[in-house]
A and B are shown apart, each in its own frame.
Chain A
Amino acid sequence: MIRSAVEIAGVTKAFGKGPNTFYALRGVDFRVDPGELVMIVGPSGSGKTTLLSIMGCVLSPTAGSVHLFGERVSGRPESELPRLRLSYIGFVFQGHNLISSLTAAENVAFPLQMRGASVREARREAEGLLERVGMDDKRDALPSDMSGGQRQRVAIARAVAGSPPLILADEPTASLDAQTGVLVSDLLRELAVERGHTVVVVTHDNRIFHLADRVVHIEDGQILRSAA
């Protein structure tokens, strides 16, 4: 039996207490196979980003279980979560979230160094990845000297640096124009294919649905349907 990349069972996430309790997720069951590219879609406030946050070990579920590649990550003490994130996950954020004071190469090298790579090793891999995403001429540029699309390419390079098995992307095209958004999504897909990453993308952007192996619809904190 193939071990799931992500396995979420009966996950509920509640915010607030008492009568003000808001349920962002209500008993969600969700599974992603290794190597799969899944897009989670739904209206604003449907719970898709909450689901992504729980998968990314940056938010703990109120109830239910979460496994990444067979390892239970829910219910773990908060002190263990950074290690789990480093071990399993690369993030692509909506607003690229590059560190403004670091160059492109330093941004990409950061998670590698956090995993224990030497400065030289991290720098070498970062430069290779920047070349791969077509940003080798911007390796020493600060994010402020790049266009939105360029920043998102660097962010993708940072996410795949070190080849974490799972890439989580939150609205990666939201701050980009249509053409750039498609190019960046293409790039994410290419890298995922080449390097064997499992990818989960939260998006509103129906122009990139065709890149997904599966599209999961979520609404009111519940998964409505999942279509290949």
Chain B
Amino acid sequence: MDQARQSIAPDLSKRLRAHKQSAPLKVRRSPLLRWRTMARVALRMMLHDKLKMAGTLAGVVFAVVLANQQVGTFLGLLHKNTMFIDNAGADVWVVPPATPQLQFGEPMQDSVLMRARVEPNVAWAEPLLYGGANLKRMDGGSQPVTLVGTRDPHKVGGPWNLVAGDVDNLRMPDTVIFEDAERAKFGGINLGSVRELSGRKVRVGGFTWGLLPFGPSYAFADYELAREVLRTDSDQLSFVLIKVQPDVDPSSVARSLQLRIPEAKVLTRDQFKASTIEYVLTSTAIGVTLGSSALFGLIVGFTVVALMMFSSVLDNLREFGTLKAVGATTWDLSKLLLIQAISYALVGTLIGLALVGQLSEAIRSPQLALVLPPALYGATAVVMTLLCIFASLASIFRLRKLEPAMVFR
């Protein structure tokens, strides 16, 4: 460099001989390249201030964990109330009138079953008994159960998630399958234990895991045994469960059946689930309670992200002014902040969902398991991206007002 310096004479005449730049530089319009340039600066700025990045990510992670934990709990509770409908194996349900959800109710006459079986497009129709019973404990106390009686437990209304015993055990006399998580409440029962169920001696033939609705846990028995325990007349039943022929729309069968059985309510599986969910939402405060907690998480996350991003902009105001002075537009700086917001959202969502997954496994129990469907993961990413973009708006408005002349002050 010294050589170069010595080779240049300081006189004006030599400089005037040199080539003079006088034409404006060509500025190539390339939106993609601009995005790429601003993305690079955005990410470098994020990584440079690690403390702020960690703080912002913590806000996103907090929102993701709290919101997903609450929504997962809510879905888990809904699942408790609808899992039997999902696993009963029926496309269409015939239930007593004024049955808003899966619940004990006045039994129906078995003529309903006959009329269901003659309906075209019905592959099979089976009766189900569903009612409350009490298991007498050795200490003299009792514990309620929801007893399900089925003629063919492999086909309709049988137990699932068995951890001991076998579904076929229900074909053995006086055998009932109980919920494993309730064994202590039942006073300590094991396979082969003999207890009294609503005054009828029964033998424990197996255990399920996690079949705990809002009410008493499920217990499964053969249809005739359940009839005796529930003291239901031989011409009565709780529900009729129907499978439609392949490639037939269950809702069309349900409509036809409703005309044929006007004294009952005929619902497709989806309609029955929706009705049950609606009942839970409207008759309990679960939705409001968990929903407000999830909203709180989102609000806290939004506030943290907005404050952190705004604070970061204020800290780097001179640098943003410099970027403007050397040719970046307000839109270019907005791109920079949007890229940062989206990056925070996606990275925070990934970390948050990983934590929620771990949390879900850690707290998983028969009483409560978080339900985190893949759609919830996708929705979380979308919601957090929108949240972070909205959170960046205050910073974008601040940069809009930033005058590049401030770099000379």
Contacts and interface: CB of A to CB of B under 8 A. Distances in A.
A176 interface: no
A9 interface: no
Counting chain A residues whose Cβ lies within 8 A of the other chain, the interface size class is 35 or more
B44 interface: yes
Interface string A166-190: 0000100000000000000011011
B311 interface: no
Interface string B326-367: 111100100000000000000000000000000000000000
B408 A58 contact: yes
Contact of A190 (B5, B324, B329, B409): B5
Contacts of A87: 24-27
B24 A194 contact: no
A145 interface: no
Contacts of B10: 189, 210-211
A189 B11 CA distance: 11
B201 interface: no
A35 to B, nearest CB: 4
A118 B5 CA distance: 31
B328 A196 contact: no
A198 B26 CA distance: 18
Interface in A87-112: 87-88, 90-91, 93-95, 97-102, 106, 110-111
Contact of A194 (B8, B23, B332, B405): B8
A88 B24 contact: yes
Interface string B22-64: 1111111110011011001100110111000000000000000
A23 to B, nearest CB: 17
A190 B44 contact: no
Contacts of B326: 85-86, 90-91, 110-111, 114, 158
Interface in B1-21: 1, 4-5, 8, 10, 12, 14-16, 18-21
Contacts of A194: 4, 8, 18
Contacts of B404: 58, 85
Interface stretch (B102-110, B141-149, B315-323, B376-384): B315-323
B407 A97 contact: yes
Nearest to B15: A193
Given A86-B327, A193-B15, 4 more contacts: A35-B18, A99-B323, A116-B30, A165-B24
